[in-house]
Structure formats: C-alpha cells, structure tokens
Amino acid sequence: MNHTLKRWMDKSSELNERVAASAVNAFDWLFHKESLVKSGKTPYTVIHTGDPMSVRYYDLADTEIPLADNSSLVVQKQKLAIPLVLVPPLGVTTETFDLMPNRSLVRYMAARGFQTYLIDWGTPERRHASLSMRDYADRMMTEALDAVRAHSGSQEVSLMGWCMGGLQVLIHAGLPDTKNIRAIVTVASPIDMRGGGLIAGVSQIINTPAKFIAHYTDFRLNKFNPESFHAPGWVTALAFKLTDPIGSVTTYWDLLMNLWDREFVESHSTTSDYLNNMLSYPIGMVGDMFTKVAMHNQMAKGEFVLARGRVAQFSKIDVPLYVFAGAKDVLVAASTAEHILDVVGSSDKRFEVAPGGHMGVILGSSAQGAVWERAANWLQARSQAPAVKAVKKSAGTRVRTASAKAPPPAVKAAPVPRRRRASAAVSAA
C-alpha cells in the first residue's frame, strides 16, 4: 500500500476515534457530570464527630497506588510511630486533600506509612456564623487532636496545614498549654501581611481607611449579629476565581481542545466541581482575619490574641518546622510565608519554594515530587518512636529556588503502563 495513503488512512482513523470520544465525553459533561468527578474516592473511617468539625482516618487496603507521573507507589504496611494530621483551610471541601485517585495527598501519605488523619471542618451554616479563630484553632483543634491521640495510641502527633490550615496549626502550637507536637509542615500560609502577594496587598490597601474608621467612629464588626452577614459558599468561589479571571475562562478552552481525552475531561470536571463548590466563611473568622491579621498584622509580630488572656506565642514553638511557598503564588508571596521562620522558636527549620501557584503547590501534578515527597521524607526522619533531637541551626535552611534537587525518592514500583493524562488547570493554579 502506498505509504502516503496509509498515513492518510491512519490519520483519518485517529480523527474518527477522537470525534467519537469527544461526542461521548461532551454528552457526559453536559448530562452526567457526576460520573466525571473523581474526588473523595479514598475510603476512610470517621473517628470523631463534632459540630461542624469531624476527624477522618485513612488506612489503605491497596498494595500500591497510582501517581500523577504514571508510576505507582508501593504501600508501606508498617506504620510509623507518630501520626500525621492534615489540616485544610476553611472555605474549601475536605476533598482538597483527596482530589483525584492519582493526585491524593491523604492516599500518598497513607501509602508512605503514616497513620493519616484529616480534620474535616464541616459545612458552616448560618448558625455557625459566630465561630472565630479561637473556636477553630483552639477548641476544635484540641478536640480533634485528642481524638487522634485516643485512636492512634500516640500522644505525639505531626501536623501539616495548607494556607489558613497552616495558620491554625501555628496558632494551636503556640498556645501555652499545647504539648506533644512532634513536627509541623505549612504550605502557602500567609503570616506577614506586609510581605507581598495579593492577600498582603489587599490588607495594606484596607489597613489605613479601616484604622481611620475605627479611630474616629464607634463602628465595630463585633457589634453586628454575625448571622446577618452569613454569605453562601458561591461568594467564596467567586472571590477565588476573581484572583485569576482570565485563567477561569481559558480553562474551558483547554477543555474544548482536549475533549477527546477522557482523563483530561475527568480531571477538568473534578477540579471545576471543587472550585464551584467552595464553602462559606463564618463571619467570626472573617472578623478575626480582618482585624487581627490584615489590620494589626499580629502574626508577623509572633503572636495571635484569641481572647483576653488567651494568646498564642510563636516563639514558644520549638518543634521541627518545614515551610513551603509556591513560586507562582499570586495570593501568598514566598516572602509572606517565609517570615514564619523568623517568628518561631524552632532551631530545626527549613523554608523552600516549590513550583506552582496557591493551589498548584499543594494540589498540582508537580506537588507530589516537590512538596509531598519532600515533606514525607522529612517527616519520616522525625516520626520514629524515640524523640529526634533538633538539628542546631541558628536560622534554619532556606531554599529559594523552585527547582531545587529533591531528597531521595520513595521506593516506587515499576512504571504503570498508562497513557499520560493531560494536565488539569489546577496544575499551575
């Protein structure tokens, strides 16, 4: 057969297959979108139920799990002595850390041998509008960690928090009566509202007029009924999308161009579902973040006043600390997150800039190697039964490059022969 004719026939066959696949995927996207959403697929057990907070425990029955790079990771059955508690921020669903089967932080950490727990902050309703930072970082965090200690049998726990979840971890660890924290990892957590990035920029813009109003009038947020200011979750979703309005539109063009690729469509649908179903922020938390963080920049000074006589002092934190920031994070600049090292009392501390934006740094395809693997390797060395002595370093280790060489990788099985999936919008978000 003529070579040119054969190539033409092969191309035609491939085009026909793509057209057929695009038609099927488009139909499912329009009428059966729930079949495309793959978040929250890792089995778990609820070990504690509160209001609205609960605690999940993840224990894998699998022998290996898929990874974003098309390889697989052998599940380590021998559990490490120190449990790991993952702390998501408010405003997002718990599926944040279980976004896709091959891009699931809870699944990855469980596979690496950690007794893996996740705090689920629940879905705030109007009746929860008055909940403040003291409720979350003090009362509920204490309640959650007590449940983890009772379930795991270990008094010590390690904590890993993203964004506001990292702030809640630091506040809890800085309380005078907090004990038995083995190690802390924070990812894209803003602590210095004068340090750069969109969040810090907005804080500086509102700082002067807010102080003027507070000084010359009797206007106070805490004078109003919090339930009157309860906003639905779509407000949070809209605010997040407005941080990158162009990207929020162009992602649908990417979907159209890759409509034939089932894995891409599933990834896009899962990410879109996640972004479209964010949760409301209790106005009590909004007030704390507005006044104490944005206006007074308390955390950058090394403290957070939860209430009169109840203050978190970050200089009290002397446990090993690993701080990550996103190289392309427009919300939380690296300098905003890096200041954590300057206010904590830890001698064993490390700062690193990893690829990705505010979401991509923790959820993107490169997060497994640049953040999850490095955090897991670092935590493993500090999760054995005997206490590990802190490495004496006056200022800690700071790695500013987004392409720094990773530590030795976890043991992986032979690559799984799966077609590489096109990256979703969250990869660089």
How many Å apart are CA 261 and CA 274, to the nearest integer?
Answer: 20
Residue 197 pLDDT more than 80?
no
The pLDDT score that the predictor gives to residue 386 is 58
The pLDDT score that the predictor gives to residue 258 is 87
Q: What percentage of the chain carries pLDDT values higher than 90? A: 49
Please give the CATH superfamily to which domain 39-236+283-428 belongs: Alpha/Beta hydrolase fold, catalytic domain (3.40.50.1820)
The pLDDT score that the predictor gives to residue 224 is 54
Structure tokens at 89: 């921020």
How many Å apart are CA 307 and CA 56, to the nearest integer?
Answer: 29
Q: What is the mean pLDDT of residues 141-161?
A: 98
The pLDDT score that the predictor gives to residue 404 is 43
Q: Where do the domains of the chain lie?
A: 39-236+283-428
The pLDDT score that the predictor gives to residue 216 is 44
Residue 122 pLDDT more than 90?
yes
Residue 2 pLDDT more than 90?
no
The pLDDT score that the predictor gives to residue 100 is 92
The pLDDT score that the predictor gives to residue 265 is 81
The pLDDT score that the predictor gives to residue 30 is 84
CA dihedral 22, 25, 30, 35 (to 10 degrees): 180
- Backbone φ and ψ of 352, nearest 5°: -145, 140
> Which are the contacts of 170, defined by CB distance < 8 A and separation ≥ 6?
184, 186, 189, 191, 299, 312, 314, 317, 340, 344
Q: What is the mean pLDDT of residues 41-56?
A: 96
With contact defined as beta carbons under 8 Å apart, do 116 and 65 qualify? no
- pLDDT tens for each residue of 167-188: 999 999 999 999 999 999 999 9
How many Å apart are CA 31 and CA 201, to the nearest integer?
Answer: 41
Instruction: Name the pTM for this structure.
Output: 0.80
Residue 75 pLDDT more than 80?
yes
- pLDDT tens for each residue of 102-118: 999 999 999 999 999 99
Among 153-162, 228-237, 316-325, 346-355, which stretch is predicted with the lowest mean pLDDT? 228-237
